[in-house]
Amino acid sequence: MDRREFLSKTGIITAGAILVPSFLKANTFSSQLNLSKKRLVVIQLSGGNDGLNAVVPYGLDEYYTNRSVLGVAQSELLKIDDKFGFNPQLSGLHRLQQKGWLSIINSVGYPNPNRSHFRSMDIWHTASDSNEYKQTGWLGSYLDNNCENAFEGIEIGGSLSLSMKGQTNSGVALTDPKAFYDTIHSDFFDALQHPNSQNNELNFLYKVLNDTKNSAKYIFDQYKLKTNSTDYPKGEFAKQLKKIATLIKSDIQTPIFYTTLGGFDTHVNQKGTQDYLFGQLDGGVTAFVNDLEKDDLLKDTTILIFSEFGRRLKENASRGTDHGAANALFVIDTNLSKKAHGYNQIDLSDLENGDPKFKVDFRSVYQEVLTSTLGVNSQEVLGNQYKELGLF
């Protein structure tokens, strides 16, 4: 039974109950909610991560022919199999992969790839075709169909991603639970009364006001419950993941978390930048995974790591790489199937405009996490059925 169904079966969704703040409903019934559901943590790598130097196809000649400067030497790699190895900066991800907890899905993309950061990110956010413009995100559609409160999708960051924007229900973006609470917490805002107006837009805004106040309070209250003394590496990204872990440990009723690590647009002198960013990514994710595992919370968590596109196979003249298309993506989960480990292949002999062709539609991956992690009908969210990958 999902939340909506539960609430409607128990008669909570009735005209008279509308005045009950929705977060109270969630709180009151927290033990019954999310019974079979897990939570999803999305990590967005902005700028177009060079997947070819993350999961290095050292067994393919074309890699070293095209990457004479930037190619990572075979001896440095953390081997996955006889063709692929992780960049040495990604030792934590490599360990997870060796444990069977991390799936590499390679050549993920979509037909007619767009090489603009903004447009391609939009496409990933809205799960649209490359010639289609949607105003709501794929996680936003999930929130629309299954949730009622802003706190059910939390993005740690300054501005809410299009992914998290729904038609009627959007997630909430915050850099810090206390700061967000302080923004909306004041006697004046508390005293504002819903006008029950004839004006639908006004009623909508008062509804958002209540939701914002309640969500801010609920998130901050949960955040304060336990101090998280686990050590995380330095840097903003690890801090964001620590905030997410702290919230998860509080038993917060939030199925979706979202955060971003930016700076991957490495046209020039890629190695230094990428090494630094990979260090941030690997250190943060490793600490996060260990932290959740310690409290036995990792088993209910799926982590999805994606970027808007990969980079071109051939490096450019500035020791960098230009915008590409299909890319490697990571799914971390302790319950991956055997099949989940069969998607790390890439074909470098068959290129389109100098980029490896896409083999797996990114929406197939969305479909898997919607179905298995979030336990919903993916077609209602994505509008279409995509090829099954059988990751879980």
What residues make contact with another protein under the rule CB under 8 A? 46-47, 118-119, 122, 131, 133, 135, 150, 157-160, 162, 165, 170-175, 179-180, 183-184, 188-189, 192-193, 195, 197, 199-202, 204-206, 208-209, 211-212, 215-216, 235-237, 260-263, 268, 273, 276-277, 317-318
Which lies closer to another protein via its Cβ, residue 42 or residue 173? 173
Least spacing, CB of residue 113 vs another protein, in Å: 13
Q: Torsion over CA of 97, 98, 101 and 104, rounded to 10 degrees?
A: 30
Burial classification of residue 189, based on how many CB atoms lie within 10 Å of its CB (0-12 exposed, 13-18 middle, 19 or more buried):
middle
Which lies closer to another protein via its Cβ, residue 209 or residue 297? 209
Least spacing, CB of residue 23 vs another protein, in Å: 12
- Listed in sequence order, the residues at least 6 apart from 75 whose beta carbon sits closer than 8 Å to its beta carbon are none
Tell me the torsion sign for CA atoms 362, 367, 369, 374: positive
Could you give the CA distance from residue 335 to residue 369 in angstroms, rounded to a whole number?
Answer: 12
- Neighbour count for residue 56 (Cβ, 10 Å): 28
Which lies closer to another protein via its Cβ, residue 203 or residue 335? 203
Least spacing, CB of residue 345 vs another protein, in Å: 31
Which lies closer to another protein via its Cβ, residue 66 or residue 215? 215
Beta strands in 137-290 (DSSP E): 153-156, 172-174, 256-261
Which lies closer to another protein via its Cβ, residue 37 or residue 117? 117
- Neighbour count for residue 95 (Cβ, 10 Å): 16
**Size of the chain, expressed as the number of residues it contains:** 392
Least spacing, CB of residue 193 vs another protein, in Å: 6
Least spacing, CB of residue 201 vs another protein, in Å: 5
Report residue 112 as tokens. 């007619």
Least spacing, CB of residue 309 vs another protein, in Å: 15
Which lies closer to another protein via its Cβ, residue 199 or residue 349? 199
Which lies closer to another protein via its Cβ, residue 38 or residue 323? 323
What DSSP letter does each residue of 189-203 carry, written as one string?
HHH------S-HHHH
Tell me how many degrees the CA angle 86-248-146 measures, rounded to the nearest 5: 100
Least spacing, CB of residue 37 vs another protein, in Å: 22
